[in-house]
Amino acid sequence: MIRRPSADDSASGALRRRSVLLAAALAGAGLAGAGVSRCSGGGTASSSTNAPTSPEGQPPGAASPVPTLPAPVLWQPGPGEIEPAAKVAAVRLVEAFGTWPAGKGGVADRAARARALGIPAARAAMLATQTGSLTPPADAAVVRVIDAQYGGILSDSASVLVVCSQTTRTGSTISDGGTTVDVRLSRTSAGWEVTALHPARPGPARPLDATQRKVLADARIQLPPAAAADVRSGLVHTEVLDAMLRLAGTYRMSVSVVRSGHPLDVFGTDRPSDHPLGRAFDVWRIDGHPVVDPATSRALITAFMRAAAAAGADNVGGPVQLSGGTVPNQFFSDPTHHDHVHIGFHA
């Protein structure tokens, strides 16, 4: 049975406590409230800038100032979420692991930040070894969660796909990047608890063809870092990219997940997902309106889903159950797709 949203006061209190714990941990690490955020959820390629070696007014030969990282900003669930406590538990750990001050990026430091969130020591130590692309080599880092969507939600388990941008500092160099983390959770008597992390592994970039270049250059297709890296890897099928371009002719799309950072199988089954095969993409925001928000027009979502089918998608899932279609079961809806539109292409 699917768990429906609850207004249980204890769950709300748990969310607040997790936020307070992480904020306290970041403040203690000297990161909270420092600098002005310049993170972007636009999915641009990583870039670097060097701090000036002789700032105006600085005596010749003086050491260059250490560049400032953006301030951490805690992600919060909006209205319309199913099981917001599961998303918050996943996001808070990603924020804690993906943000660190100078000298605090090691496994033991990550484990300590996980313990500060109330995660038992043994599990915190295990999870701290599973961070992968969330903890690139750097002196310091700040992560910003762009979106948290379900890779699957059942009564006692969940997959939350935490889509991130990240700013890192190595020496005097500031770099922008990011990743997506498939966070697995189980429901216990104490609430939702993180059990495993599966960070994205997009693969190395390859020479781009014309379609890939068009997708990456189209301002109406907002790709987060891991999704952009998927396109650059050459492992996303052309029919998927063609559908993106066709939809972008009418809509501005915020893509959450393409290939990497998604469960290998359809959650709760042994059926392979189209995403890791490079045959699907998910959209969490249409024309600036989050799919999960009850204020977003159902007519907009319905039109977008039908346009995705017209663009060639074999299966289109979202918060609205549509009828019709050119192939059997072309449209579907379930709690997992309450917060995004899935656009898939069978082999």
Instruction: Please list the residue range(s) of the chain that carry CATH number 3.30.1380.
Output: 210-344
Evaluate whether 200 touches 183 at the Cβ level (below 8 Å): no
What backbone phi and psi angles, to 5 degrees, belong to 226?
-65, -40
* Number of neighbours of residue 193 by Cβ within 10 angstroms: 17
pLDDT (tens place) for every residue of the chain, 347 residues total:
434 444 444 444 555 555 555 555 554 444 443 333 333 333 333 333 333 333 334 455 556 677 899 999 999 999 999 999 999 999 999 999 999 999 999 999 999 999 999 999 999 999 999 999 999 999 999 999 999 999 999 999 999 999 999 999 999 999 999 999 999 999 999 999 999 999 999 999 999 999 999 999 999 999 999 999 999 999 999 999 999 999 999 999 999 999 999 999 999 999 999 999 999 999 999 999 999 999 999 999 999 999 999 999 999 999 999 998 888 889 999 999 999 999 999 87
Question: Closest Cα partner for 343 from 267, 254, 251, 244?
Answer: 244
Distance CA 239, CA 248 (A): 14
What backbone phi and psi angles, to 5 degrees, belong to 285?
-145, 135
CA angle 132, 157, 260 (to 5 degrees): 35
Res 39: pLDDT: 34
1.10.3470, 3.40.50, 3.10.450, 2.50.20: CATH of 9-49+68-199: 3.10.450
**Assigned CATH for 210-344:** 3.30.1380
Tokens matching residue 325: 């279609």
Res 26: pLDDT: 53
Instruction: Please list the residue range(s) of the chain that carry CATH number 3.10.450.
Output: 9-49+68-199
Amino acid at 16: R
In sequence order, the β-bridge partners of residue 141 are: 100, 168
Against a cut of 0.75, is the pTM above it?
yes
Helices within 133-237 (DSSP H only): 210-217, 225-233
Pairing of strands 253-255, 221-222: parallel
Res 64: pLDDT: 66
HSE-CB for 169 with a 13 A CA cutoff? 20
Res 66: pLDDT: 78
